[in-house]
Chain A
Amino acid sequence: MPYTTIQPPFALNLREMPKAELKRYFQWFMDVLPQRVNELTAAVKQMPGFEAWEPDYTPASLDMLGHWFAAQVETRNRTQEEFQKIQNRQVFPMGVPNEELTNRTFSLAMDIGMYLSQVLLKTYSSLKWEQPLGNKRFVDYGQPSLAGFGRVSLNPVGIVVTFAYGLTSKKRTGEGLREIFDIWSKMVQTTT
């Protein structure tokens, strides 16, 4: 069965969305999460060598998933329209990066971000979902995030998208997904 990219029923222009709509987006995110983990699981198992992968929500499951994702990340050339739009804005001539993540890669990053959130939540009971709606300039404004790391919060989808960019630029390898979990585990603040 071919992988179906996620289809949010919103434009996802979060800073322009009314708060009521943002709250509906948050609810949609939670509702669709189990289905997206199933979609991800099917996609992983289709790849030779990864048939044994199980979404058991253990930190160890992130090891194989990270390697699988590293093999899946792909970029596309910017369209002429996108390219021209950037060039037209330029005051000085400068090389425009010609590549962007594909929609499928963005979708996989979203699915893996959802799965990563579940691994964290099942490992650390002190973590909770939140949706930052205070300041539109906050980088994770309106995006489902995990609280419980002290002053900072974790946007699981955002960090996996960043990880995807790191994979394309060769700054990261498949181990990076588990590394994200390990780094943020050290920041978990347990309530007493």
Chain B
Amino acid sequence: MGFLSLPTFAYDGQGQLHAGTKISYDGSCLTAIDYDGVAVLAADECRNHPANARPPFAAFTEFLAADSGAFSAIGLTGKVGEQWLKENLGGQSRVYFKTSQGDRFVDQLANGIANESKVGYQLLTPSIQLQISKDAELLNTRVVQGVNWHFFQSPVTGLGGPSQSLMNALQQNGINVIIQRQCPTPQYNRHSR
């Protein structure tokens, strides 16, 4: 039994994954993970569940999907989320604001509300932390009247929604979290690169 050479994650038992811990790998296309039996939930199913019941290996699953040839598909699904906002909310797409912390590109600006699309399960990474900080600045300076983050289920992995720490960070900064029930349908061939 070897070790996965890719970035790996450890589950802390509270719905969070931490980078750096090896996950055992048997050399086949299957990966053995000490799964604790918590149900994996699709995005629309997360709505009524505590965050710590959300898929603990979501990020890892995303990574496996990337390694199995769906990498370009995952990239596409992100675009599909943006497209969904554009078609459903109207307003301006992909405009940027200047903030004291750098530029902030907004997926969709409609009626004074900045809308951000996130497809797949999302963790509170440093780059997302910076996005939140910039959005908080836009809110606090009244440049926007609201910030909505829309979470979509990934059509590739079936996973979606924010981790508990991400959810907390968004709420603490006055950002609305919207779990979209609809899964955007990407226009791609899953097996093509």
Contacts and interface: CB of A to CB of B under 8 A. Distances in A.
A180 B98 CA distance: 17
Contacts of A153: 98
Contacts of B182: 91-92, 94
A162 B88 contact: no
Describe A's contact surface by its main secondary structure. Answer: mixed
A151 B96 contact: no
B145 A166 contact: yes
Nearest to A158: B143
A180 B99 contact: no
Interface residues of A, number: 31
A135 B97 CA distance: 11
Nearest to B94: A137
Nearest to B99: A152
Given A92-B88, A92-B182, A165-B112, A139 B97 contact: yes
A159 B143 contact: yes
Contact of B95 (A139, A152, A166): A139
B5 interface: no
Contact of B146 (A89, A90, A137, A171): A171
Interface in B89-123: 90, 92, 94-100, 105-106, 109, 111-113
Contacts of B84: 91-92
Interface centre among A86, A90, A138, A139 (most CB of B within 10 A): A139
Interface in B38-94: 84, 87-88, 90, 92, 94
B142 interface: yes
A127 interface: no
B140 interface: yes
Contacts of A161: 112
A172 interface: yes
B96 A137 contact: yes
Nearest to B86: A89
B145 A165 contact: yes
Contacts of B105: 137
Contacts of B143: 158-159, 162
Interface string A127-158: 00000000101110000000000111100001
Contacts of B112: 161-162, 165-166
21 contacts: A89-B88, A91-B84, A91-B182, A91-B185, A94-B88, A94-B182, A137-B105, A138-B96, A139-B96, A139-B109, A151-B100, A152-B141, A161-B112, A162-B112, A162-B143, A162-B144, A162-B145, A169-B146, A171-B145, A179-B142, A180-B142
Given A86-B88, A92-B88, 6 more contacts: A90-B87, A91-B185, A137-B105, A138-B96, A151-B99, A165-B112
